[in-house]
Amino acid sequence: MSMENNMNRWWENYLVRYLMPSLGGMILIRIIFEIGDGKYKKFVPAFTITDSQFFSSAHLIIWFICGSFFCFLASYPILVFHVTRVIDFKEEGTKVARIYFNPYLHTLIFGILSLSSAYFNCISLAYVAVIFYMLIQIARLAFCFFKQDKFKTQRERISFSYAYLVKLSKRRSTIENKETIKDNDEDEGSSTTEIRSNRDKDIADSYRHLREHGNTAFIILLEIFLTPIVLVAISSESYAGLHLGLLISLWILPSVFIYWFGQHLERLYSLFKF
């Protein structure tokens, strides 16, 4: 499939990445409203219907929108991990580097803390889990910003992330290799035939597909780990709304800095040419 077709059928990528997590989010949202404090049901009409006889397509749409919202909310840490993926391997090789920044290790720790907060019904433990996960993401962003790399063609040192993007873009620019074969025909003379090799493109497509499907599984896992945090917050005896707002704000805070990080990369792009 060509790059143009991929762009025209962009919605397929979103289906692969977000459809199953959105359906999972629908189930988890329903669980949250059923197990948690029932007073929040009035804000979502789809959850006030108990008799299936009165359940319409409009309620299903609202339910799906709530599930999609929960899906996107849970996926924000993956955005940070994707932007900072350059630090997960050694600069010159494929060996895993910086275990203290490993996203899977810290996701596991966060999951244990999250499930424990629900088991003990402890709001303090829920804050510990979210703040721990938040600080790891911010530390990864800071490391990518302050760590610098240098190109042979430039005297200036630039951020690690931008150097990685430049190297990756150069590698991807050679995906379509051209080979020329001469055809000798006694009657018509000689001609040349151009053949495009898709070997590198197939490799790039393969790891993109793996990453997309892995992203789907990662989102579902984070949805499961985020659900206990929401349950503990809305089940608090006092200030339930405040706890929920603070925990969700802390959860999405690292991803807010991605906008600033994008501006940083854009600025470097305007200053340096490689």
pLDDT of residue 197: 52
| pLDDT tens-place string over residues 198-207 | 566 666 667 7
Domain presence at residue 43: yes
Any idea what DSSP says for residue 175? S
Answer yes or no: is 194 within a domain.
yes
In a domain, 34, yes or no: yes
Q: What is the DSSP letter of 252?
A: H
Q: Measured over all CA atoms, what is the biggest interatomic distance in the chain, rounded to whole angstroms? A: 92
Q: Do the Cβ atoms of 71 and 20 come closer than 8 Å? A: no
Asked whether residue 7 is domain-assigned, the answer is: no
In a domain, 91, yes or no: yes
pLDDT at 250: 96
151 assigned to some structural domain: yes
Pairing of strands 157-159, 189-197: unpaired
What φ, ψ does residue 269 adopt, rounded to 5°?
Answer: -65, -35
pLDDT value at position 211? 77
Give pLDDT, residue 98: 78
Residue 212, pLDDT score: 78
The pLDDT value given to residue 38? 62
Q: How many domains is the chain partitioned into structurally? A: 1
Its domain, for residue 30, covers 14-271
Domain assignment present for 240: yes
Stretches in the chain below the pLDDT threshold 70: 1-16, 36-55, 91-94, 148-157, 172-205, 273-274
What is the DSSP code (8-state) at residue 84?
T
Name 87's Cβ contacts closer than 8 Å, sequence gap at least 6. Answer: 97, 98, 101, 140, 143, 144, 147, 160
Measured in degrees and rounded to the nearest 5, phi and psi for residue 216 equal -60, -45
Give the burial class of 181: count Cβ atoms within 10 A of its Cβ; 0-12 exposed, 13-18 middle, 19 or more buried. exposed
pLDDT for position 194: 45
Looking at residue 123, its pLDDT comes to: 94
In a domain, 252, yes or no: yes
